Amino acid sequence: MSTLERVQAALAGREFTSSVSREGTLVLEVEPAAVWETVRRLRDMAGFDTNTFVTAIDRFPAEPRFELVWQFLSSAHADRVRVRARIDGTNPHVRTIIDLFPGTAFSERECWDMFGIRFDGHAGLKRLLMPQAYEHFPLRKDFPHQGIEPDRLYREWDRARRERPVNRDLPHTSEKH
């Protein structure tokens, strides 16, 4: 039973288009709203028990702008399947799958950090690599590679540090002690 037959059996009655990537992996194109149910069926009925990664591709300036990619591995059948969905660039968001695969929490967080794609239902969606107060999403195609004011956060920290009031009295020399 080939990978495609197993996936077709699991996704019977659901809309998807399938293709084969250059290196021979089965790729499924689905609607963003159908991702969660597709992944659930792949996990429960087709034996894909491991999530390899969650990532995104910025197709700027094409619309819909972002292409989200989930890849799953079946350790029993030793094959992989890739799920793709195109989402809009103005308010990019998609339902999280951490209730199906808890290990995707970090991947989704990185995806938020680098592309600014929100994963609805992800409780800890905060910056992973960039500073918490960083405002931009570095892997977007319209982000300049030298950054937008890369020194801004350091400059703010430096100014606050210099403006902080200083107590020159050592504890044992002040009159209170």
List contacts with other proteins (CB under 8 A).
130-131, 136, 138, 143-148, 150-151, 153-155, 157-159, 161-162, 164, 166, 168
Residues in Cβ contact with 166 at an 8 Å cutoff, skipping those fewer than 6 apart: none
Nearer to other proteins, 44 or 158 (CB): 158
Encoded tokens for 45: 């009925």
Min separation Cβ 115 and other proteins, Å: 15
Note the residue count of the chain. 177
Min separation Cβ 60 and other proteins, Å: 17
Min separation Cβ 153 and other proteins, Å: 7
Nearer to other proteins, 106 or 154 (CB): 154
What does R_g of the chain's alpha carbons equal in angstroms? 23
Alpha-carbon span 126 to 110, nearest angstrom: 9
3-state secondary structure 31-56: CHHHHHHHHHHHHHHCCCCEEEEEEE
Q: What is the phi/psi pair of residue 27, to 5°?
A: -120, 130
Q: How far is CA 141 from the centre of its chain?
A: 16
Min separation Cβ 45 and other proteins, Å: 43
Min separation Cβ 167 and other proteins, Å: 9
Nearer to other proteins, 22 or 161 (CB): 161
Nearer to other proteins, 162 or 172 (CB): 162
Nearer to other proteins, 58 or 79 (CB): 58
